[in-house]
Amino acid sequence: MQKNIEKTAKDINNYKRKTIFYKSARQGFSEILKFLKNKYNEYTLLLPAYIGYSPNEGSGIYDPIIENNISHYFYYMDENINIDINDYKNKLLKAKGQVVVLLVHYFGYVDPKIEEVVKIARDNNAIILEDCAHALYTDYIDRNCGDYSDVSIYSLHKMLPYKDGGMVRINNLEVIQLDQTDNYYNILEYDLRKIAEKRKKNTILIEQELKGVQGIKILRKTTVYKNQTPQTYPILILNADKNEFYHKLNAKGFGVVSLYHTMIKDLQKEEYNIANNLGSKILNLPVHQDCDEVALKEMCKEIKILLGEENERK
């Protein structure tokens, strides 16, 4: 029987991925956890051992896990905040019931071993959640994440000038189904591609300004993490007081943050020394679309002054 070809597309579900908006990413994450808890009699969540909190905001990742009483394990991260593959695999194999893996794209960057990480999960029938809170552009513009998972989660206010906003995209409706909400954020009102280009340009500028500077470690070199758009640019302050850097730079008007300066209490243990050590040294430099090139250079100059390097060069 001959099949007709319509003049325009009619199938509203063809290539459609259900997208749901929330007031925050943590709210969306909580709804995912609730659904999975109701669906499976027993399930275990695996999440990275690098999760921070603040006295004012708590933890966007960990609070929903505790509030929903979810059984969970932490898998180790290495000194570069990338996944310890061996520990990750061991924890996954030991987990009981349905295994759910949370992958976090820290600062908007994807783990160099993401393909292996995903394969291990899929080979063991694990459900995959991607925390793309920092990776809106790395997904929608660079196409380097977001599609590894059954569900991906986004924090819109961290990437666009919104007061709030979270988004959940369901990539696999056989795994999870969530109800629509009354929330809506028109992210297409912004030129996401140009914003991504601006953020990448700002990142390259910072790399050039801090190239060869002693006393810091660049965590996400663009030569390694190619075609990815950062939320912030992470460096480690190696031989000085990171907190002093933080306060002095902010006092000068340079909006730096620290992701994350304090680990959640469950990670404040000797076995997670790597995470706690990183938290004591990490400083995240702004690269967002509002950043001015001159101001970024001044910020880098101030970092070198605080390290004593600028004086040595004079």
Same domain, 51 and 144: yes
Same domain, 173 and 26: yes
Tell me what pLDDT residue 312 has: 46
Paired tokens of 211? 């190239």
Same domain, 56 and 204: no
pLDDT digits (tens, 9 = 90+) for 120-156: 999 999 999 999 999 999 999 999 999 999 999 999 9
Is 257 within 8 Å of 248 (Cβ atoms)?
no
Whether 7 is covered by a domain: the verdict is: no
Whether 208 is covered by a domain: the verdict is: yes
Same domain, 132 and 93: yes
Is 261 within 8 Å of 244 (Cβ atoms)?
no
Q: Name residue 212's amino acid.
A: G
Same domain, 22 and 95: yes
Is 209 within 8 Å of 296 (Cβ atoms)?
yes
Same domain, 101 and 227: no
The answer on pLDDT for 306 being more than 50 is yes
Same domain, 178 and 267: no
Tell me what pLDDT residue 55 has: 86
What is the total count of domains within the chain?
A: 2
Q: What gap in Å lies between CA 75 and CA 89, rounded to an integer? A: 9
Same domain, 78 and 220: no
Tell me what pLDDT residue 310 has: 57
Same domain, 46 and 144: yes
Tell me what pLDDT residue 133 has: 97
Whether 4 is covered by a domain: the verdict is: no
Domain boundary among 143, 170, 188: 188
Tell me what pLDDT residue 13 has: 86
Domain boundary among 188, 211, 239: 188
| pTM for the predicted model, two decimal places | 0.95
Assign 137 to helix, strand or coil.
helix
The answer on pLDDT for 314 being more than 50 is no
Q: How many C-beta atoms lie closer than 10 Å to residue 287's C-beta?
A: 23
Q: Which residues pair with 99 in a beta bridge?
A: 44
CATH number of residue 278's parent domain: 3.90.1150.10
Range of the domain at 67: 18-188
Tell me what pLDDT residue 56 has: 85
Whether 5 is covered by a domain: the verdict is: no
Whether 99 is covered by a domain: the verdict is: yes
Whether 275 is covered by a domain: the verdict is: yes
The answer on pLDDT for 313 being more than 50 is no
**What sign does the CA torsion over 112, 100, 73, 106 have?**
positive
Average pLDDT, the chain: 95
Rg (CA), the chain: 21
Tell me what pLDDT residue 40 has: 95
Residue-by-residue DSSP string for 222-291: TTTSTT---SEEEEEE-SS-HHHHHHHHHHTT---B-TTSSB-GGG-SGGGHHHHHHHHHEEEEE--TT-
- Average pLDDT, integer, range 225-243: 96
The answer on pLDDT for 189 being more than 50 is yes
Tell me what pLDDT residue 311 has: 46
- Average pLDDT, integer, range 69-92: 98
Same domain, 59 and 202: no
Domain boundary among 166, 188, 210: 188
Tell me what pLDDT residue 137 has: 98
Q: How many CA atoms lie within 13 A of 215 on its CB side?
A: 15
Same domain, 116 and 197: no
CATH number of residue 30's parent domain: 3.40.640.10
- Average pLDDT, integer, range 97-111: 98
Same domain, 161 and 256: no
